[in-house]
A and B are shown apart, each in its own frame.
Chain A
């Protein structure tokens, strides 16, 4: 059984847009009241999925056993290989089972999905079975990431030396230049809180190996997510509070309060432009009994 863990994950962005807001013309998400930047939980989950898909399903089928990703992006698809699922001993042709058997079958189906798909085992999923028992709650829960200080989004006007259609070219009389816009955050350090629940992990079969893969994803997922809009995104710190008691040994809020991020004194008043401008303070004094701090990086 995996332990209960509450974690603080820090990542930063340099000259990029970590998460565009579809409501604001793809500007970086900002809390309108505080000016702090936001990155949604689903944005981070997407990156975890893509990372796992890339490392597990890229090369060989054998390795991918049980590490398929259900909610996928077409862009990173690599599925020349045929399917080789380890099927349960259920005859799928005998579909007409009813009542109790049907419920049993649905449960098996859900279990099978958990066994085969890393993202369902980790984050959960809702399946369309007749009655509502195809719902899987995953053990890992992300909150919304927020930047440590207010961010300033910069708008850049960019040009391209080509046009898409003939008509555009005619209109410009051969000038063939169009303008576009892109938004970046010069620098932003983001903090997100996460929770890992041992009870739900046991239910979905999320194990030690999955957990290690998840940590690896947090450490490396930005490396495989480079694009013109993202700029340079990097993981900066992962601080895990591990509980010996599955119910928890201390309130998560108290533990999270032990992680403070401050500006370095000499740089007070200047805009932050790198992770070096901050210091991460973890108060390890008088830890509640049963809590250990593990700084993964």
Chain B
């Protein structure tokens, strides 16, 4: 088994990699998803010219859960009301009253997690050599630098990270564990008509559809092999 060019150790007190089917009262997956791992790598370094590919996830602590119930709001900020307020035609003050739109939501979250993410990036635009991106990432990871603080699923669960040089330490988790069907990542594909779009690219403003891809996650001796995200369309993510 070869080693990916990039390996980063991440750890934190809490994590919540929400299962899409249990997103109202959040229930975390047993381990980090490739999608969340990509988010962490992107928090450290990302450019539109590259796409992160997570190849392997090493799990160093057995999944342990805890519960956290919080008062949350049920609705989003209203764009229509904001527009009216801008125009001065809104009767009442523009605000969201939390006691009126309150939901109590429980979250079953992971605690005390530690992973090593093995990854590489693919070039989407060959104007720069891959070594440049690699070195920029490496420098940042070694110095603890990041574009924004990486987090474990939700922003209230920030994580620490460090560059891993040399061989990947072995996990003490023995045996095999079937983690079931797990979210791999979202695939974003450009569309022509804005009305068909699920989202827009944060960089180009291009309308995109978003489709979830899943994979059969097996953990062997604490290692999860992440299959390539079979991509019909290499449009890349936004």
Contacts and interface: CB of A to CB of B under 8 A. Distances in A.
A117 B151 CA distance: 25
Contacts of B111: 33
Nearest to B96: A71
B201 to A, nearest CB: 9
Nearest to B205: A103
Contacts of A95: 83
A199 B143 contact: no
Interface in A99-142: 99-100, 102-103, 106, 109, 112-113, 116, 120, 125-129, 131-134, 137, 141-142
Contact of A129 (B79, B99, B149, B157): B79
* Category for how many chain A residues contact B: 35 or more
B110 to A, nearest CB: 13
Nearest to B151: A141
B14 interface: yes
Interface in B204-233: 205, 207
Interface stretch (B27-35, B54-62, B66-74): B66-74
Contact of A98 (B77, B95, B194): B194
A144 B111 CA distance: 12
Given A42-B70, A85-B88, A132-B198, A125 B100 contact: no
Interface stretch (A72-80, A164-172, A173-181, A221-229): A72-80
Interface string B80-101: 1011111111101111111110
Interface in B1-59: 13-14
A71 B205 CA distance: 28
B14 A128 contact: no
A250 interface: yes
Nearest to B80: A128
Given A103-B200, A132-B199, A125 B77 contact: yes
B143 A68 contact: no
Given A73-B99, A103-B205, A42 B71 contact: yes
B69 A22 contact: yes
Given A42-B70, A87-B88, A251 B158 contact: no
A100 B71 contact: no
Contact of B158 (A40, A103, A109, A193): A193
A70 B96 contact: yes
Contacts of B63: none
Given A22-B69, A74-B100, A131-B199, A109 B94 contact: no
A127 B79 CA distance: 6
A270 interface: no
A195 interface: yes
A90 B84 CA distance: 11
Interface residues of B, number: 60
B148 interface: yes
A222 to B, nearest CB: 19
A33 B158 CA distance: 20
Contact of A143 (B140, B158, B198): B158
Contacts of B82: 109, 112-113, 127
Interface string B155-185: 1111011100000000000000000000000
A269 interface: no
A150 interface: no
B202 interface: yes
Contact of B198 (A91, A131, A197): A131
A144 B85 contact: no
A217 B94 CA distance: 22
Given A79-B93, A141-B155, A195-B158, A247 B79 contact: no
Interface of A: 21-23, 31-33, 38, 40-42, 46, 68-75, 79, 83, 85, 87-88, 90-93, 95, 98-100, 102-103, 106, 109, 112-113, 116, 120, 125-129, 131-134, 137, 141-144, 146, 193, 195, 197, 199-200, 245, 247-254
10 contacts: A40-B68, A68-B94, A71-B95, A72-B96, A83-B90, A120-B77, A134-B79, A144-B157, A251-B160, A251-B162
Which 6 pairs show the lowest CB-CB distances between chains A and B? A251-B144, A253-B160, A92-B87, A247-B145, A23-B69, A132-B199
